[in-house]
């Protein structure tokens, strides 16, 4: 059986590696850079740092820092206009998920034209995009290495998912010092999102040998350091583990996909406006408990990667201890339940059948080791409450 694995051509890692950005932009043939970021990143001083690093290498920089929390289509168009007006030839994106999503879409439209809507779905991008360098500021989305972008179509009230290997940034620059000021709540949200990526890509029916190794390493790094990164944000070693874990998990799920947790989490975001990472974290223990019988051996490996003792255990017992480990982690990190985040129970019951349909339609539950029906998903929402 043949497996295809896609990744950026260059991944730069290590504390302080952000200063390499100018050199990397030059190596992509750039002379004028569009820097796509947001006001929050500017406020903590990272934009100035990156601008200086690019200018030192002799490149011009135009900053587009208007990207809001939601990567809306209108902002892709505004960014594209600046890219064209300033005759830019390379894009650098700095931030969490939103600026990266917008930057990926700008890079596609810059060479292929048309509207973001034309590329919704899988494999619709026909030409190479404008060269893109992605610099994450949270140990979270993994977007710096993935083939996905999500752009919100405000008019049609729709989150458009675009998936294509051509969306993968040419260069990812992962500097953990950039994540030192991430506040505790975001550290949990983005960290648990990354852990969910690693767990889901590992148990996915589309898993492959390379992604299996990446996932186990990511689970180990994140589960050993997330508590420390949450408690003492300026612990560089813990932040380093989180950023490395998130990038490895990103490489894994970009190739093996996510599964039931992500499928169920997106409708919670859409209806109750819960941040993506938090809705994954809330669902993870319940969905793992349900799914583990679909592949107990792999859940046992997750337990071992999380530091649980599994020697001498049956595969079912080892699988069970992966759920126990996640429950303990959630408790330590004060991750709430669905009721704890203020969702109204009767509203959830009313919407659950539609949410289950949307979850199934996203395709992610199809990768789960245990196939869930619409009724199963409704019951899981209830249980997570
Ligand atoms: Fe995610």
Assign residue 41 the CATH number of its domain.
3.40.50.1970
Q: What is the pLDDT along the chain (385 residues), one digit of tens a residue?
A: 899 999 999 999 999 999 999 999 999 999 999 999 999 999 999 999 999 999 999 999 999 998 888 888 899 999 999 999 999 999 999 998 899 999 999 999 999 999 999 999 999 999 999 999 999 999 889 999 999 999 988 887 778 889 999 999 999 999 999 999 999 999 999 999 999 999 999 999 999 999 999 999 999 999 999 999 999 999 999 999 999 999 999 999 999 999 999 999 988 988 888 889 999 999 999 999 999 999 999 999 999 999 999 999 999 999 999 999 999 999 999 999 888 888 999 999 999 999 999 999 989 999 999 999 999 999 999 999 9
The Å distance, Cα 87 to ligand 1 centre, comes to 34
Q: Are residues 273 and 142 in the same domain?
A: no
Contact 33, 63 (CB under 8 A): no
Let me know if residue 3 belongs to a domain. no
- Does residue 146 sit in the same domain as residue 226? no
Residue 199 sits in the same domain as residue 120: no
Ligand 1 center–CA 143 separation, angstroms:
9
Question: What's the confidence (pLDDT) of residue 315?
Answer: 93
Considering only CA atoms, which of 195, 178, 272, 172 is closest in space to residue 234?
A: 178
User: Which CA distances in Å does 315 have to 204, 319, 326?
Assistant: 18, 6, 17
Whole-number Å distance, alpha carbon 278 to ligand 1 midpoint, is: 10
Q: How far is the CA of 266 from the centre of ligand 1 (A)?
A: 9
Ligand 1 center–CA 208 separation, angstroms: 19
Which pLDDT score is estimated for 271? 86
Task: Kindly state whether residue 371 falls inside one of the protein's structural domains.
Answer: yes
- Among residues 160, 179, 198, the one where a domain terminates is 179
Provide the pLDDT for residue 371.
Answer: 96
pLDDT of residue 313: 92
Do 208 and 142 lie in one domain? The reply is no
Rounded to two decimals, the pTM is 0.96
Ligand 1: centre distance to CA 329 (Å) = 18
Burial (CB count within 10 angstroms: exposed 0-12, middle 13-18, buried 19+), residue 14 = middle
Both tokens of residue 302? 């997750």
For residues 9 and 66, is the Cβ–Cβ distance under 8 A?
Answer: no
Query: Locate tokens 């490996």: which residue?
Result: 301
Residue finishing a domain among 179, 203, 229: 179
CA of 141 to the centre of ligand 1 (A): 6
d(CA 243, CA 194): 9
How far does the centroid of ligand 1 lie from the alpha carbon of residue 277, in Å? Answer: 6
Range of the domain at 262: 184-384
Cα 85 to averaged position of ligand 1 atoms, centre (Å): 34
Q: Ligand 1: distance of its center to the CA of 120 in Å?
A: 18
**What pLDDT is stored for residue 171 in this prediction?**
98
* Distance in Å, CA 30 to ligand 1 centroid: 31
Backbone φ and ψ of 2, nearest 5°: -100, 140
Distance (Å) from CA 39 to ligand 1 centroid: 23
Quick check: is 283 in a domain? yes
State whether 84 and 200 are in the same domain. Answer: no
End of a domain among 135, 154, 179? 179
Comparing CA positions, the residue from 68, 107, 358, 334 lying closest to residue 227 is 334
CA of 276 to the centre of ligand 1 (A): 7
Domain count, the chain: 2
């Amino acid at each position: 059986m043949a497996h295809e694995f896609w990744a950026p051509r260059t991944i730069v890692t290590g504390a302080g590696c952000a200063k390499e950005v100018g050199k990397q932009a030059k190596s992509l043939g750039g002379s004028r850079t569009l820097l796509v970021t947001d006001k929050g990143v500017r406020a903590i001083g990272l934009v100035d740092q990156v601008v200086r690093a690019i200018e030192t290498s002799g490149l011009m920089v135009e900053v587009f820092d208007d990207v809001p929390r939601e990567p809306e289509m209108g902002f892709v168009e505004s960014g594209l206009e600046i890219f064209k007006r300033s005759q830019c030839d390379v894009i650098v994106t700095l931030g969490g998920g939103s600026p990266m999503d917008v930057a990926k879409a700008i890079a596609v439209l810059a060479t292929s034209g048309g509207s973001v809507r034309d590329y919704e779905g899988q494999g619709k991008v026909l030409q190479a995009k404008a060269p893109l360098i992605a610099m994450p500021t949270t140990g979270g989305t993994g977007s710096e290495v993935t083939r996905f972008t999500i752009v919100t179509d405000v008019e049609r009230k729709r989150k458009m998912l675009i998936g294509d290997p051509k969306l993968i940034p040419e260069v990812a620059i992962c500097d953990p010092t950039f994540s030192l000021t991430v506040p505790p709540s975001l550290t949990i949200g983005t960290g648990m999102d990354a852990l969910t990526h690693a767990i889901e890509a590992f148990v996915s029916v589309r898993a492959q040998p390379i992604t299996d190794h990446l996932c186990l390493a990511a689970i180990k790094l994140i589960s050993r350091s997330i508590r420390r990164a949450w408690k003492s944000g300026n612990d560089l070693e813990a932040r380093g583990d989180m950023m490395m874990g998130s990038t490895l998990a990103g490489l894994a799920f970009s190739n093996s996909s996510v599964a039931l947790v992500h499928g169920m989490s997106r409708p919670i975001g859409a209806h109750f406006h819960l941040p993506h990472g938090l809705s994954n974290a809330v669902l993870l223990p319940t969905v793992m408990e349900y799914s583990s019988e679909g592949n107990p051996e792999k859940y046992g490996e997750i337990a071992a990667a999380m530091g649980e003792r599994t020697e001498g255990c049956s595969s079912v017992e080892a699988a069970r201890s992966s759920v126990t480990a996640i429950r303990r982690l959630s408790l330590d990190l004060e991750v709430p339940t669905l009721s704890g985040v203020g969702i109204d129970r009767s509203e959830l019951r009313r919407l659950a059948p539609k949410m289950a349909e949307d979850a199934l339609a996203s395709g992610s539950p199809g990768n789960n080791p245990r196939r869930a029906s619409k009724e199963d998903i409704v019951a899981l929402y209830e249980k997570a409450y």
